[in-house]
Structure 1
């Protein structure tokens, strides 16, 4: 069951192993929880039982790649592994806040997040989330759909791009089941496709603020990407896992994960546009993660490097590309970076040349408006905030209705500036 999977890593035994700085002990805990022998784990990660024994019993990390492979295989959450290795603290950290009227993103504040999710719980039917929980509790059954897995995945991506969150969540269990069924072939391509399905699942779960579930799908995306051997699939999975880690107040672990993925992509030589796009995307994610941590120097350096990396990319990337980054998309990331650093003026300046027709999907067009709305709200401009959110609603209502932080911004507008132009219309449209 899903609760058992989560419970083992929040147990006293797991916490003690973290405090003892015993990452191998976490691997042993996960292996025994699955009923595996050391030989069973060894076969999965390509080593002997005696090597597994040494890994589990050692307090000193001598082979980080092997440790990560073993931890992935038995399901050790990345933040827990990082804390046991001494890379991060397992204690929760308080989010940094700037500007009294900034309305920092509620997705980053665990206490407020839980409250907002309860208030916004009707945005997505609970029955769909229960079905997703059932699918994540084990290996989901195939749906029986005769369509090819790649066609199913392409259709699901179109739903995400169109902001059709409810429809995507309805299809998600069957999509995952069919991808698992196809991956019985054990080919690299089918493992990469299964990873892509879990990556997409992570994206939609993050979008609607369900981070605990997203953590499970992100870990699985990473595992299957590793089995595929594809650096691009690995980069996509690592990016989504890093985003989840950031929301779970593990910014340092998130940053290391994305930087490692960027290095793997860079090692390809960036000979194709697909590789260059993946590299630029990793830099954008690194920049935003640094900004959320208050590291201004790295945030600004990375977004500038992303601009350079994106120069050769087409203004309108092809639909089939895994990372549909473009020069305009990097500028949109810059809006978010400056907002996260508390500089609303710089955020609006970065977005001054952006237009909806520069982005290929409804999700990105609407995201442009919500990111600009956050900057206007941070600057204390309720009318401009409302106008951007109304524009986002017209493009993709789900981007406003289903994202807890954006709904919270609408609620704040309604309660604090009820007579500002556009606020009443916005509140009615959102159902706030």
Structure 2
């Protein structure tokens, strides 16, 4: 990664950890929000004086990250009162968490834990004293972390990630040859989980986490892991307003995997096509979205008709007909044709979806579909279902926004006010 891109990544991660918007950071250093966006994407190099202010506001130690401190950085850099209030230490909580074991202590409470964004930033840039372990032990720890994600226990996953990432990277650095390639795959999958967690919280730090995942995946030489990492990177690209580039990445990666006769490669390719379809739908590219979903369904059908059963569970998303139906619901809602998603939702048996996280996704997508159709009662029923199967899911920003809409809808729905209070909306 170029120096300019690394600088932008560090700035983005630090800003997100401090809960600052691009506009707030821009006001502090004399740039527009769009200019800050270009700096964070590595497309614009800030001049020394504005860079000095950025470093001061964010408390960044660029030299500790292998980057050059601005020559004119001084304790005399002045900030207005509002921006001075935004200054916080970037890595205090994250580095504290990074020194813990691979899994969280049962004694730790939610109030004691830093938020997910801070934890991930700490894992990205904090210095840890993690010790290497055997590949078998690392694999078991990664499996436990994945179980936390699929069970929708995001608080526990966030607490586990810094230690897991530190240990995975220390283990990789201690190995060579084929064992090192295997460790690269473990590191990549740990960063995939970090990205998934950040995406659920709508955290911008998802982007640098996804970049770490893809870099490690490419070093592993494992095409399946590369596909998993490409998927989460594409999701962050879509969230950053680059759906066309995200679709292109997903297409190319899926095409590469489709040439591999291995069932797992074929299954991952199908999940990439589903993600590409939803991404195209978010960009209102109806023809592309429908074509990609058709391709995904064909891939799932080929696996079934050939009698070749893909693994019952891929890393985070499965390649099944039920999963395809779930994506059809999201695609039609994103395209503005939610009525066309209703038949797909009706034929899904949510209890047969493989994980709590996927069942919660069913509830979320149905809630969005009914909300777009103006059916407040069914929207609320879908939200209640999501709460039942995955209580932490309904505290995500997207679902809190849906709850807010119901709370202030012209026609009241019984129970919404109590639900809003339980989920932190009111």
Q: TM-score, normalised by structure 2?
A: 0.71
Return the alpha-carbon distance in structure 1 between the equivalents of residues 163 and 128 of structure 2. Answer: 7
The corresponding residue for 1:288 is 278
Contact 1:366 1:399 in 2 (8 A): yes
The corresponding residue for 2:387 is 393
Contact 1:386 1:421 in 2 (8 A): no
SS at match of 1:416: coil
Match of 1:383 among 377, 383, 407: 377
The corresponding residue for 2:120 is 132
Q: Deviations over 1:210-243 (max 9, x none)?
A: 1x21111100111011111111111111100000
Is residue 2:162 matched to residue 1:173? Answer: yes
Q: Which residues of structure 1 form unaligned runs of 5+?
A: 19-29, 37-121
Contact 2:8 2:42 in 1 (8 A): no
Match of 1:237 among 207, 229, 234: 229
Q: Deviations over 1:34-76 (max 9, x none)?
A: 579xxxxxxxxxxxxxxxxxxxxxxxxxxxxxxxxxxxxxxxx
Identify if the C-alpha distance between structure 1 residues 148 and 392 changes in structure 2 by more than 3 Å, giving closer, same or farther.
same
Q: TM-score, normalised by structure 1?
A: 0.70
Where do residues 251-290 of structure 1 align in structure 2 (5 Å cutoff)?
A: 251-268=243-260, 271-290=261-280
Identify if the C-alpha distance between structure 1 residues 11 and 290 changes in structure 2 by more than 3 Å, giving closer, same or farther.
closer
Give the superposition deviation at 1:128: 5.0
Q: Deviations over 1:122-180 (max 9, x none)?
A: 99954554333222114644268888111010000110111111111011100001110
The corresponding residue for 1:429 is 422
Return the alpha-carbon distance in structure 2 between the equivalents of residues 405 and 177 of structure 1. Answer: 30
Q: Deviations over 1:396-417 (max 9, x none)?
A: 011111x211110001101115
Q: Which residues of structure 2 form unaligned runs of 5+?
A: 1-5, 13-36, 47-61, 69-109
Q: Which structure's relative contact order is higher, taking Cα pairs within 8 Å and 6+ residues apart? A: 1
Contact 2:206 2:236 in 1 (8 A): yes
Contact 1:386 1:426 in 2 (8 A): no
The corresponding residue for 1:56 is none
The corresponding residue for 1:224 is 216
Return the alpha-carbon distance in structure 1 between the equivalents of residues 236 and 255 of structure 2. Answer: 20
The corresponding residue for 2:328 is 334
Is residue 2:151 matched to residue 1:162? Answer: yes
Task: Number of aligned residue pairs: give it.
Answer: 329
Which one is further off, 339-348 or 417-426? 417-426
Give the superposition deviation at 1:359: 0.7
Return the alpha-carbon distance in structure 2 between the equivalents of residues 133 and 197 of structure 1. Answer: 14
Q: Deviations over 1:277-304 (max 9, x none)?
A: 1111011011011101111001011111
Contact 1:315 1:358 in 2 (8 A): no
Return the alpha-carbon distance in structure 1 between the equivalents of residues 111 and 410 of structure 2. Answer: 23
Return the alpha-carbon distance in structure 2 between the equivalents of residues 329 and 415 of structure 1. Answer: 33
Return the alpha-carbon distance in structure 2 between the equivalents of residues 418 and 297 of structure 1. Answer: 36
Is residue 2:350 matched to residue 1:356? Answer: yes
Return the alpha-carbon distance in structure 1 between the equivalents of residues 286 and 314 of structure 2. Answer: 34
Contact 1:414 1:423 in 2 (8 A): yes
Q: Deviations over 1:159-211 (max 9, x none)?
A: 0111111111011100001110111214211111111111111001101111x
Identify if the C-alpha distance between structure 1 residues 380 and 274 changes in structure 2 by more than 3 Å, giving closer, same or farther.
same
